[in-house]
Amino acid sequence: MIVLRIYLDQNKWVDLARAATGHPHGLRYRDTLGVCRAAVEAGAASFPLDMYRYWETAKRANDTSRNQLVDTMLALSCLHTLTLPFPVLNQEIDAALQRRFGAPSSIRRASIFGHGMRHIAGDRLTWPTANLPDEGDTRPEARTVVQAKIDSFLEEQLLRAGPADHAGHGVDLRQSPMAIATSFTKQRSRSTSWMLDSSQDPSSTAQSNTPTCATSSPRLSGSTPGRAGARAIHRDTGRRRHSRLHR
């Protein structure tokens, strides 16, 4: 099944969030939101986020407004994400040169779609791992569950974090988006210790309010909501059908 990837700029995400919360300015988008939700639930479409969605959302100072926006983003994107423009540009330059001149012999391939900030950042971001004791009674499946909790927690917190959260971790929103993600993740990883110290079964921790997505990406779970013009349509063939590189 071909999944339609639909890229939305920030103002369209705001329109859909207003529709989801009953805001008067969102009334005209209620039907659109319903169609989007149905398409995601059927696995026919997803609405991937890019680095600039994280960056622009982070600058939204009102906690309630920002978290309502993030709720809509999580529900429709399932945290599917787009890579940075540069790997895509490298691939397209190589392909154009190869067609015209027969070189280079191999094309640098970009993984356009993935999951979460880790996909966007790639090797630019050091992701924290569970630091569990190497005792014999630590089951491999327990490590997997704890790591999944950490991953889900950090991914959602990165999207929900606002100006006060970033400032509290020494992050200046005037920096580039990648610098913000790198700095915030390093700081935020220290706050995952509550998961490792908890005596609860990991499955009994607070559940995210993110709806289940009928796509290949895993559902967020075990995380707590934090206070803590380009358009593109992509298909899963990995080839861009129509796009303009976003700034």
What does the alpha-carbon distance between residue 33 and residue 46 come to, in Å, rounded to a whole number? Answer: 13
What does the alpha-carbon distance between residue 208 and residue 218 come to, in Å, rounded to a whole number? Answer: 12
What pLDDT is stored for residue 212 in this prediction?
53
Name residue, tokens 């700095």.
Answer: 183
| CA-based nearest residue to 152, from 214, 74, 227 | 74
Question: In sequence order, what are the residues at sequence separation of 6 or more whose Cβ sits closer than 8 angstroms to the Cβ of residue 200?
Answer: none
What pLDDT is stored for residue 214 in this prediction?
46
What pLDDT is stored for residue 199 in this prediction?
34
What pLDDT is stored for residue 240 in this prediction?
33
What pLDDT is stored for residue 202 in this prediction?
34
What does the alpha-carbon distance between residue 26 and residue 7 come to, in Å, rounded to a whole number? Answer: 19
Question: In sequence order, what are the residues at sequence separation of 6 or more whose Cβ sits closer than 8 angstroms to the Cβ of residue 71?
Answer: 17, 20, 209, 210
What pLDDT is stored for residue 178 in this prediction?
65
Instruction: Please count the structural domains in the chain.
Output: 1
| CA-based nearest residue to 208, from 198, 194, 222, 188 | 222
Backbone φ and ψ for 56, nearest 5 degrees, come out as -70, -35
3-state helix, strand and coil shares in percent for the chain, rounded to the nearest 5: 55, 10, 40
Segments forming the whole domain that contains residue 71: 1-247
**Residue 49 DSSP code:** B
Name residue, tokens 């966007």.
Answer: 120
Identity (one letter) of the amino acid at 186? K
SS3 192: helix
What pLDDT is stored for residue 79 in this prediction?
95
Tens digit of each residue's pLDDT, the chain (247 residues): 889 999 999 999 999 999 999 999 999 999 999 999 999 999 999 999 999 999 999 999 999 999 999 999 999 999 999 998 888 999 999 999 999 999 999 999 999 999 999 899 887 777 877 776 666 556 777 778 888 888 888 899 889 999 988 888 777 787 766 666 666 555 554 444 433 343 333 333 333 344 456 433 333 223 333 333 222 222 332 333 333 333 3
Identity (one letter) of the amino acid at 223? S
Beta partners for residue 7, in sequence order? 232
What pLDDT is stored for residue 242 in this prediction?
33
Question: In sequence order, what are the residues at sequence separation of 6 or more whose Cβ sits closer than 8 angstroms to the Cβ of residue 135?
Answer: none
| CA-based nearest residue to 94, from 86, 105, 78, 83 | 105
